[in-house]
Structure 1
Amino acid sequence: MKAALWGLLHMAALVCFPVAIGFGVQAVVDRSGARLALAGGLMAVLTALTALGDTMLHRAAVTNWITAAARVQQLLARKAVELGSALTRRVAAGEVVAVSTGDVEKIGWFVESLSRFTAAAITTVGVCVALVVYQPALGLVVALGVPALALAVFPLLPRATRRADEQREKAGRATELASDTVAGLRVLRGIGGEELFLSRYRQASQDVRAAAVRSARMWALIAAVQVALPGLLLIGVVWYGATLAREGRIAVGELVTVYSAVTFLLFPLRNFEEIAMAYSFSRPSARRAARVLALRRSSSGVEDPGADAAAGGPDGEGLGGDLYDPASGVLAPAGRLTAVVCGDPDLAGRLADRLGGHAPDDGGAVEAEPGRAPSALLGGVPLDEVPLEAARRAVLVQDKDPVLLSGTLAELLDVPRSGAVTVAEALEAAQCGDVLDALARASADGSGAADPLDARITERGRSLSGGQRQRLALARSLVTDPEVLVLDEPTSAVDSHTEARIAQGLRRLRAGRTTVVFTSSPLLLDRADRVVFLADGKAAAAGGHRDLLAIEPGYRAVVTREPDMDADTDAGPDTDAGPDTDANTDTDPHRAPGAGTGRGAGGPVATGPGTGAGAGTAAGTGTVGRIDTIEESA
């Protein structure tokens, strides 16, 4: 509104210039010095008002632009925080980057242009009406010609819009490709794939360039029409006005006034072209932003107003208890370490999201309602219906590919915490001693020599190995000390000996807290209080690790990385996996079942990188009862 008012002042001052000019010309014709001086004074005042209005209009319009872009970015940031890792499962990461950078700029451009267009439209209508009143003969020509000029480009806009959409779509694909390439650059270099992806990006870039040229040609045509047609109108007005002046029907000053007014109208007509261009470019951007902002943490898209009371209060205090996922039948008893074995990593990731309070409609889950995946329950309360802050305090999910932000190690571990776990305890449990030493040695300025916590971590931890990143991320999760901690493959990049020590530290530090670990590592599974095996997305069996090795062929095939040679591996849901029963939950994880032989998960350790006790390449056919001895020695 403020920008539109300043725009009206600016254009109203401009539209008065033809009056002052015509008044001055008529004063010269009449040889009136007083009226000529008055015309000069009026033009000086109008010049000052024009400068003031233009300055303040630009300031207000650019403020609107920046404010609109910043607010959309804030909404996108809040949506990213709300959805967490589930965001990139629903929308490509490159698209999120494109929306939060280029798209918000185009949305802001439309908001900025809208104020200028509003002032231009009001001023144009006012000038046409004034000309009809001032000089009906010429004014009627102008009043009919200006709307025709403004509407002349409308037939060209659909084609221009389609070309702009095509350019935007190709630019988005190129951005996604660049983002994915940068994220996987380390892997690409390892396999020698830089040139392949460079050629793909070069082709995508050329596609964007070609689309941009096609779009620019159409907008150049629109600009040419916006220049040619007003010129034709101006020629027509001058010709008709000269005829009227020769016949004595209008004075020379009136002709100059009308001519100046028509010349002035060429300026607001440019704003018509700008708003059309801004709309065409911002519409696909706004559509993409709206698609991201429309995502909801709750699969139903509606927060339950009664969830606060069920969660123990308006801020979710008192939220706790058993963690249960109705879609898969996975139950994690309160205060116990539960391991979940699933042969499908994608399915495990979706289940981890649901256990964290996200219920994306993509998992082949049992639907509580049509099109809705049921939410996980914590103490009987649906997590996706409690306040977001309460859900975040109660459940922490560590993704299988955790992100480390740039900064010092102390800043990385400076997260909201309960205070029950110190940084030193978390680092020790996550076996980060060698990581601290490496960071201290790699510190360029020597700041890490005195205190390793002052050592800096590069963006996304790219200077660290995969195992080092995993351990630092695990330490960050442990120091938070949430009521429920969900870990998705927290040791997949760690060697066997370190993994065994992490398993011990995790069990010790999380004693009395609910912990769910998605893993197929025998070292972690053997130290879990309860193991749940998923087959086809459903809990097929639950119990101790060694008991499942002995009695569940499908479980044994996943854990030992062997093809299942037993009769039937397509086990259905086991009744012991339900929320009310717990098969073998109290089984001592260090007690050998004494039954069943097969390829032992803790067979002799094979040589070579990345292999060790419990690894899929371990050789040997010892009984499951041998796991105790081998793992304890590890």
Structure 2
Amino acid sequence: MTGEGTVLRAAIVGQWRRVVPASALAMVHQACEALVPVLIGVAVDGAIGRQDPAALTGVLVGFVVLFAALTASMRGGGRLVRRATQGAGHALRVRITERALHPRGVDRDALPTGEVFSISTSDAQRVGMVNAAVWTSAGAVAALVVGAVLLLDASVLLGVVVLAGIVPVVVATSLLSGPLVRRSATEQAAAARAATTATDLLSGLRVLAGLGAETVAAARYAAVSAAARDAGTRAAVLIAVRSGLVTAVTGLFLAVVAVLGGSLAIDGSISVGEFVAALGLTQFLLGPLTRIMTVGAQVSRARASAGRVATLLDAPFAIRPGTVDDAGTALRIHDLRTGVGPPVDLEVAPGESVGVVLGTPGAPEALLAVLGCEAEPPDGRVRLGGTALEALHPDAVRRVLHVARHDAPLFTGSIRDNIAFGADGPDADRRVAAAAHAADADQVAAVVHGGLDAPVGERGRALSGGQRQRVALARALATNAPVLVLHEPTTAVDALTETGIAERLHELRRGRTTILITTSPILLAAADRVVLVDDEHDGGVVEGTHARLSAERPRYRELVLS
């Protein structure tokens, strides 16, 4: 298990080469800061009080050296800690990405896509900022220690008061951090829900527009966004109240020290220069005490984010770990129950082209999730080359069986880049050209500026829906997978274009297994045989050619021809 403590420790330990010298420089910087009022006190007593030009010159040279050290340590430490925070955030994003893209998948019910996005961005950055908290803490502790030692040197009483006052202030700060952790976790969870909703809306924008449901969708997002805003506001109010309380406590403490130091100067226990130094040190200590308060809030938010990151890293896998690394091409599905629709029974011989019509809404997506190694079926068995799918390593399955969904997004780049993503080897160029021709993507290239090198834009938005679908189909065909599963690959193209695609697809895939999960009569007519899976039939499964099923099965005609 990966707890929040493990995540935070990894963020710090992984950047120790930067955090350690940055912290050392922070300590040097704060020690030099603490020496400034002391040097002013020396100037008051030794140079100005005795009107000694040589002593004053020495003090001025000391100031030059001191501020040079201040500047160098601050700039060097700041540069190192910025690299440490960014480096830790980047390393965590890499881990999150590796987990999200693991061959065994992630349970999407436990972690929706939008929540994964929120964790990999804002939460990863907040965890990385724990290194800034370490840097700040090191400097603050050094300032308090050096300041206390200097005060003890000037007056034991002043030093004791400072040391005694620091403990309750720090304890109060820690006690006030607890509610902030809980509020921060609530705020970040609300923000993740808003991101999840936004992701869902954007991915289904075209469908929503077609249904005329934009207003309902906008209202839903407005509601979750308002909830995220309110959670953030409550967390900000809590931070403000906490900051005010701690500032009041530290201000009272410093006022007591100032009054005590002034009384000691009046009765002659300390010199005027020592009083000036003590007063300056007292004012200086407000800075590190305030930073300790800020560190508490920063660590609280980092802990909440680390907990969410740990939840993602420990998220259950979608499928069990298979070990067999060699899969055949014969596909056998026996009594497969996905929880949607009737059980599926299907046997596909190597090189066969089979159309599959699923009569229950949601059934195609459930079957694709199983075949794509994204989910395990509650019951039933899928065999590839005689080996149970769950016994095969996911990479072994995907080398043989490729699932192409109808809504597969395009990647930023050119048309050629997207198609070539599915092709490798010495004949990649030939396969790209053949796949583009079969999917009619070459005609897409012919009508856009730049041809195959034309950019498709983010997620292919520079192309129309039909153009995107043809490029995505070409990418799937370019894989030349021994077993290719296509889900509604031509829903966004016209009938004439679809007819040409069906003919060329059948020719290109000759000798390789192709499964078409579709209700397109044009694609089904080109298949060797068609399997209808529907609740209205005994056993739920009937098969035959497209022509035969169209003539004999009213339910088939309803699903395919209506």
If the TM-score is normalised by the length of the shorter chain, which range does it land in? 0.7 to 0.9
Aligned match of 1:66: 86
1:7 aligns with 2:6: no
SS in 2 for 1:517: strand
Aligned match of 2:433: 424
Greater RCO (Cα-Cα under 8 Å, separation 6 or more): 2
Aligned match of 2:41: 22
Deviates more, 1:89-98 or 1:48-57: 89-98
Q: Distance in 1 between matches of 2:354 and 2:95?
A: 36
Q: Check conservation: 2:158, 2:261, Cα contact below 8 A.
A: yes
Aligned match of 1:415: 421
1:571 aligns with 2:539: yes
1:398 aligns with 2:404: yes
Cα 1:108/1:327, change in 2 over 3 Å: farther
Which amino acid in 1 is paired with 2:379? A
Cα 1:225/1:344, change in 2 over 3 Å: same
Aligned match of 1:170: 190
- Report matched runs for 1:213-232 at 5 Å: 213-232=233-252
Unpaired runs of 5+ residues, structure 1, are 313-318, 367-373, 530-543, 550-554, 575-582, 604-613, 618-634
Deviation at 1:571, TM superposition (A): 2.6
Q: Check conservation: 2:419, 2:436, Cα contact below 8 A.
A: no
Cα 1:274/1:345, change in 2 over 3 Å: farther
Q: Check conservation: 2:525, 2:547, Cα contact below 8 A.
A: no
Aligned match of 1:611: none
Q: Check conservation: 2:106, 2:318, Cα contact below 8 A.
A: no
Q: Distance in 1 between matches of 2:294 and 2:233?
A: 18
Q: Check conservation: 1:341, 1:518, Cα contact below 8 A.
A: yes
Deviation at 1:493, TM superposition (A): 4.2
- Report matched runs for 1:600-619 at 5 Å: 601=556, 615-617=560-562
Deviation at 1:49, TM superposition (A): 0.6
SS in 2 for 1:491: coil
Deviates more, 1:201-210 or 1:399-408: 201-210
Unpaired runs of 5+ residues, structure 2, are 1-19, 337-344
Q: Distance in 2 between matches of 1:80 and 1:279?
A: 26
Aligned match of 1:322: 330
Q: Distance in 1 between matches of 2:349 and 2:547?
A: 21
Cα 1:599/1:416, change in 2 over 3 Å: closer
Offset from partner CA, 1:557-583 (integer Å, 9 cap, x none): x4xxxx83xxxx4638x9xxxxxxxx9
Aligned to 1:261, which of 281, 287, 298? 281
Aligned to 1:355, which of 371, 375, 382? 371
1:311 aligns with 2:325: yes
SS in 2 for 1:397: strand
- Report matched runs for 1:440-479 at 5 Å: 440=447, 443=448, 447-448=449-450, 452-462=451-461, 464-479=463-478
TM-score, normalising length: structure 2: 0.81
Which amino acid in 2 is paired with 1:7? A
Which amino acid in 2 is paired with 1:481? N
Offset from partner CA, 1:94-121 (integer Å, 9 cap, x none): 2233223333332333332332223323
SS in 2 for 1:152: helix
Q: Distance in 2 between matches of 1:466 and 1:219?
A: 48
Which amino acid in 2 is paired with 1:253? G
CA-atom RMSD in angstroms? 3.7
Q: Distance in 2 between matches of 1:86 and 1:149?
A: 45
Deviation at 1:391, TM superposition (A): 5.0
SS in 1 for 2:250: helix
Cα 1:30/1:364, change in 2 over 3 Å: same
Offset from partner CA, 1:184-219 (integer Å, 9 cap, x none): 333333444434433444444444443333322222
- Report matched runs for 1:476-625 at 5 Å: 476-494=475-493, 498-521=497-520, 523-525=522-524, 527-528=526-527, 545=530, 555=533, 558=534, 564=536, 569=537, 571=539, 597-599=552-554, 601=556, 615-617=560-562
Q: Distance in 2 between matches of 1:149 and 1:4?
A: 23
1:337 aligns with 2:353: yes
SS in 2 for 1:571: helix
Q: Distance in 2 between matches of 1:221 and 1:195?
A: 38
Which amino acid in 1 is paired with 2:433? A
Cα 1:6/1:432, change in 2 over 3 Å: same
Q: Check conservation: 1:485, 1:514, Cα contact below 8 A.
A: yes
Aligned match of 1:620: none
Which amino acid in 1 is paired with 2:507? R
Aligned match of 1:365: 379
Which amino acid in 1 is paired with 2:330? D
Q: Distance in 2 between matches of 1:35 and 1:524?
A: 97
Cα 1:294/1:350, change in 2 over 3 Å: farther
1:289 aligns with 2:288: no
SS in 1 for 2:68: helix
Deviation at 1:327, TM superposition (A): 8.0
Deviation at 1:141, TM superposition (A): 0.6
Q: Check conservation: 1:339, 1:517, Cα contact below 8 A.
A: yes
Cα 1:263/1:358, change in 2 over 3 Å: same
Deviation at 1:276, TM superposition (A): 1.9
Offset from partner CA, 1:471-516 (integer Å, 9 cap, x none): 3211111012123322233334455565454444333222333333
Which amino acid in 2 is paired with 1:364? P
Deviates more, 1:82-91 or 1:241-250: 82-91
Q: Distance in 1 between matches of 2:400 and 2:278?
A: 73
SS in 1 for 2:69: helix
Deviation at 1:339, TM superposition (A): 4.3
Q: Distance in 1 between matches of 2:285 and 2:126?
A: 27
SS in 2 for 1:82: coil
